[in-house]
Amino acid sequence: MSLGTFEPYIAGIKLSRLKAELKRLSDLFELDGALTVEIPALIESEVLLDLYGEELNSRTYIVEDPVKGNLMLRPDFTVPIVKMHLDRGSEAAKYCYAGKVWRKQDQFSLRQSEYWQAGFEHFGGKNVPVDDADAFSLISKAIGHLDLEIVTGDLGILRSAIHGLNANTRCKNRLLRQLWRPARFRQTLNYFSSSKSLIRESQLNLVNALKSGKLEKELSQVGPIIGLRSAQDIFERIEFIEEDAKKNQINNSDLKLLEDLLNVSCPLVEAPQCIKNISKMSEEVNKAVLLLEDRLDAMSDAKIKINEINFEVSFGRTSMEYYDGFVFEIHADKRGVLGPVAQGGRYDELTKFFNKGVKGAALSAVGGIIRPEILNIIKDQ
């Protein structure tokens, strides 16, 4: 398929087609029960910085306001809609939206930094596999019968494998935190599976200094500590070093399980058995596979052609940073220049993040978006 390119300006017939497509998608989502919402183009930067950290600055456009402080151009709709929904205090709801988002791109990237999205979010559903299937079905219906590549994944499989590791909580939390950053995840995995040989002599000297009381004495003599870490933080970190020097938190069998899961790529219909063959001894992973099987049944009941869909356990780890379960993307050009025409998935943990301190904080949440500009380009081919 030879695909067109984006233009910096849009007018005339193309503008009319874009507006018509946005209206068509919004009407379809409303017919499914969604309430249309408008989200400000400028949102408080703290909302996303709390979630992603300072590295978010390299991917978003920051605007300084003399009254409101740092704001950012909306990089997506999902996060502010989650916050809006939780602030309203409601349980179950569906929302839909249409508008522009802004994201910085790499220097030589051909992808747009300003583009349109139309999408929906569903909160408080009572049947996870059915809600996942319904979300995918709605996006598929909105796109229509086009020759596109569909790839799905399930980050719940990897999360379950990490939770089931014979390792301490610190190791598991570090792996979960880096799940969406493959290079850092690999570094963390390498460290906790080889820490005994990676701890340096200089680090062991700190351990000995702490155990002898020499380090505490020296710190008390240098005056107040300037920085974010307290003396207790430093002592705790050194205790972690001592623990890692004694034992590799991730044993060889757990390491092989994670590496084998990361390499799973197969037709969707074969995914449950493929994962079972790898994870026979992991009770946590096998529970996640049951959910995958239920989702496949729900997708079949929704008349989705699951035999034409691909599956990768690690899919969605780079472009979908808040998804934690079922994920999907639909492409026209083999994940190339244009980017996905549609994507979505489940993000229960994101609602938990913004519901800190609330009992039973995680709320069922699933959604999807469509890029109308890309959809129109595809239809023109």
pLDDT in tens, 315-372: 988 765 789 999 999 998 665 667 899 999 999 999 988 887 555 578 999 999 999 9
pLDDT value at position 2? 46
pLDDT at 244 over 80: no
Number of domains in the chain: 2
pLDDT value at position 295? 98
pLDDT at 102 over 50: yes
pLDDT value at position 88? 87
pLDDT value at position 226? 52
Q: 219, 250, 281: which is the final residue of a domain?
A: 250
DSSP string, 274-307: HHHHH-TT-HHHHHHHHHHHHHHHHHHHTT--GG
Question: Which residues, other chains included, contact 67 with Cβ-Cβ below 8 Å and sequence gap of 6+?
Answer: none
Q: Is residue 68 part of a domain?
A: no
Same domain for 221 and 359, yes or no, is no
Same domain for 288 and 147, yes or no, is yes
Q: Is residue 326 part of a domain?
A: yes
Residue with tokens 């081919």: 381
Q: What is the mean pLDDT of residues 30-43?
A: 96
pLDDT value at position 288? 95
pLDDT in tens, 112-125: 888 999 999 999 99
3-state secondary structure of 108: coil
pLDDT at 69 over 80: yes
pLDDT value at position 223? 53
pLDDT in tens, 169-186: 989 999 998 998 889 999
Q: What angle do CA 188, 166, 275 make, to 5 degrees?
A: 80
Output the pTM of the full model.
0.86
- Report whether 193 contacts 165 (CB < 8 A): no
Give the residue numbers spanning the domain of 260. 12-39+74-164+255-379
Q: Is residue 85 part of a domain?
A: yes
Q: What is the mean pLDDT of the chain?
A: 85
Same domain for 83 and 210, yes or no, is no
pLDDT in tens, 11-24: 888 889 999 999 99
Q: 250, 285, 314: which is the final residue of a domain?
A: 250
Same domain for 278 and 181, yes or no, is no
Question: Which residues, other chains included, contact 173 with Cβ-Cβ below 8 Å and sequence gap of 6+?
Answer: none
